[in-house]
Amino acid sequence: MFNIQKQVDYWRAIASDDWRVAQKLIAEKEIPQGLFFVHLALEKLLKAHVCKTTKDLAPRIHNLLRLAELGKIALSSEQRDFLEKINLYNLEGRYPDTAFPVPSLERAQQYLGQAKEIVEWLIQLL
């Protein structure tokens, strides 16, 4: 048997670490790597929600929209669109043959701002 709250706390803590790394990488103009860590932070917060909602371990998947669905997170259309975009950077970080054009620093900073809103919202929901 496992402790659900321990799982939730685990995912939340490592999401916080990944969020710090994402901000640092984008500030250092390491945009693809920074956006990969944005995805990781969001993924881990969503996995915390999945654990909390299902009272089970989070699945070993990376699709943010599927994780939000499993965690019963009601997303706005803007949030859905954003998570769909950020999913692309998960693929690029894991599978180099699916590389996408690197967004400008300005666009990456906009993504970081959008992600910050969702990160803070997801933390509040926990």
Q: Would you state the pLDDT for residue 125? A: 96
Query: Domain locations in the chain?
Result: 4-125
Distance CA 124, CA 116 (A): 12
Distance CA 108, CA 76 (A): 21
CATH number for 4-125 (one of 3.10.300.10, 3.40.50.300, 1.20.120.330, 1.10.3720.10): it is 1.20.120.330
Lowest mean pLDDT among 1-5, 69-73, 111-115: 1-5
Q: Would you state the pLDDT for residue 70? A: 98
Residue written as token pair 């180099």: 96
| DSSP 8-state class, residue 56 | S
Q: Would you state the pLDDT for residue 97? A: 72
Q: Using one digit for the tens of pLDDT, what is the confidence trace for 28-65?
A: 999 999 999 999 999 999 999 999 999 999 999 999 99
Q: Using one digit for the tens of pLDDT, what is the confidence trace for 57-106?
A: 999 999 999 999 999 999 999 999 999 999 988 876 567 677 778 899 99
pTM of structure: 0.94
